[in-house]
Chains A and B, each alone.
Chain A
Amino acid sequence: MNPTFTVLLYSSIAAGVAALGAISPRGRPGLPASWIGWSNALAAGLMLGAAFMLAANVEQAPLALAGGALVGILFTHWTHAVTGTSDLDLNQLDEVDPTYGYRIMLTGTLHSASEGVAIGAAMYLDLLFGISMAVAIAVHNVPEAAIQSAILRSRGVTSRDAAGLAVAVNLSQVLLAVVTFAVLTAAPELLPWAAGFAVGALINLVLVELLPESYKQAGSTSIAVVTFVAMGMVAVVRWLVAP
C-alpha cells in the first residue's frame, strides 16, 4: 500500500471512530458527571502517553524537539487566548449562550489538528509506530466525542447529528496527518520540529482543556488512576504493534 494512503486510511479511521462517542449508554441522553470526568482523564492519559512516545523517538535532536515543542505550546496557548477559550468551561451541559456550541466546535477542531500532526510525524518515523499512534488517538476520540455529544444532545441535537458533528470536528486530524506526512517526505530534516510541535501542543492541550474539568467531575485519586492507566495503555499498544 502506498504510505500516503496508509496515513489517510488510519487517520480517517481515527476520525470516524469519534462517531462511537455519540452513542449514549443505555439510551440516555448525556453522561453522569463522574463519567465525563473519567472520560476526560482517559483522553488526557492517552494523549500524554502519545506525546511522550513521540518525544522518545526523536530524542537524537533535542534542541529541535524542544524548539518545536515551544512553538506547539505557544500555538495552543495563543489559539486559546484568541478564540476566548482559555477559561471556557468545555463541559457545560446547561449553558444558554448560543455561541457556546460554536466555540466548543472550534476548540475541538483546533485540538484535533494538533493530533493530526502527531499522527503524521509518527507515520513518517515508522508506519507501525504511526498506526499505534492513530489507535491511541482513535481510542481517545471516543470519550472526547462522548462529552461533546452529551453537550449537544442536552440542547436537543439528535444522536445522528451529534455523531456527524463528532466526525466533522475530527476531520482536521485527517488533513493535518496527511499534510504533515507529505511535508516530512519532502523535507525530512523538519521531523524533530514537527514531532516537537505535536509533543508541546498535546501536553498543553491536556493541561488546559482536559484535566482541569476532570477534577471538578470526579475525585482526584480516581482521575490520577485513570490518567496513569491510560498512559500505560499507550506503552502496551506500542509494544503490541511493534515489539
Chain B
Amino acid sequence: MIREPVVVVFMLGLITALATGLGAIPFAFVRAVSGRTIAWANALASGLMLGASFGLVVEGTKYGGAQTLAGGALGVLFILLTQRALQGRDVRFGSATGQSAREMAMIVIVMTVHSAAEGIAVGAAFAGGPTLAVLVTAAIALHNVPEGLAITAVLRPRGASVAKSAAWSIFSSLPQPLLAVPAFLFVDAFRPALPYAMGFAAGAMVFMVFEELLPEAYEEGSRARVGLLTSLAVVAMILFQAYLG
C-alpha cells in the first residue's frame, strides 16, 4: 500500500481519467453512421455539455459569482481564438480532414480544458481528508463517463473508431491527475482560481454547443426530435450531478 499522499492523489486522479473511456462503449453498438446519427449524437453531446456547465456554474458561484461570470467570458474568448487559429490550417484528425477534423479537434480541446478545471476541484477537495478524497474520486469517475459519451458522440460519427474515441476521451481527462496534485499540495494558492476555472470551462462548453453542435444537429435532423433529445439529456445530467455532488 502506497502511503505517500501525493502518489495516492495522482493514482486516484488517473482512475477518474480512465473512467472517461467507458463513455465510448455505448457507441460500439451503433452500426451505421448516417446524417440522422450525427443529429442525435450532437443533440446528446449538447444536452450533456449544457447540463455539465450548469453544474459547474452552480459550484463556481459558491466561490464567487462575478469571478465565475468573468471566467465564462474568458472561456468564450478562448474558443473564438482557438477557432481562428484552426481556421486557416489544414487540420487532420485521424483520417478526417477539413470541417469534421476541426470539429473533432475542438471537442477534444474544449473537454481537455474543462477537465483541467475539474482537476483543480478534485485536488482542492482531497485536501479535506481521505474519506472525502475517496468519495470525490468515485463521484468524479462516474461523472466522467457521460463526458466520454459526449466526446465519442462527436468523434465517432466523423470516422474515429470506438477504441480511438475511448483513447481521446481518456486523454481529455488527463489534466485531472496532472492538476489535482499541485492543487492538493498548494490548495490555498489554487482555491481563488476555482470560480474562474469553472466559469471558463462552462463558458467554453456552452459556446461550443451553440456555435457548432446545435446548428449542425438542426441541419441533419428534425428540430422537434433534436429539441427533445437535448432537453432530456440536460435534465438527466442535472439529476446525475445532483446525486454525485
List chain A positions with a Cβ less than 8 A from chain B.
Answer: 52, 55-56, 59, 62-63, 65-66, 69-70, 73, 77, 80-81, 86-87, 199-200, 203-204, 207-208, 211-212, 215, 220-221, 223-225, 227-228, 231-232, 235-236, 239
Contacts and interface: CB of A to CB of B under 8 A. Distances in A.
A231 B222 CA distance: 25
Contacts of A224: 207, 210-211
Interface in B207-226: 207, 210-212, 214-215, 218, 222-224, 226
B65 interface: yes
Contact of B228 (A62, A65, A73): A73
B75 to A, nearest CB: 9
A227 B210 contact: yes
B72 interface: yes
B175 to A, nearest CB: 24
B226 A207 contact: yes
A228 B218 contact: no
A202 B21 CA distance: 33
A203 B204 CA distance: 19
Greatest chain B CB density within 10 A among A52, A55, A73, A224 is at A224
Nearest to A80: B224
B218 A215 contact: yes
Contact of B227 (A65, A70, A207, A239): A207
B54 A52 contact: yes
Contacts of A239: 65-66
Given A52-B57, A228-B206, A232-B69, A211 B218 contact: yes
A102 to B, nearest CB: 20
Nearest to B234: A203
* Residue among B57, B80, B218, B224 with the highest chain A CB neighbour number at 10 A: B224
A67 B210 CA distance: 26
A81 B227 CA distance: 13
A241 B227 CA distance: 32
A204 B206 contact: no
A86 B218 CA distance: 13
A208 B43 CA distance: 12
A228 B224 contact: no
B76 A69 contact: no
A212 B220 CA distance: 12
Given A224-B207, A228-B207, A73 B231 contact: yes
B224 A86 contact: yes
B203 interface: yes
Contacts of A56: 54, 57-58
8 contacts: A52-B54, A62-B238, A66-B235, A66-B238, A69-B238, A77-B227, A203-B231, A227-B210
Nearest to A55: B238
B223 A228 contact: no
Nearest to B238: A55
Nearest to B80: A221
A86 B239 contact: no
A235 B64 CA distance: 12
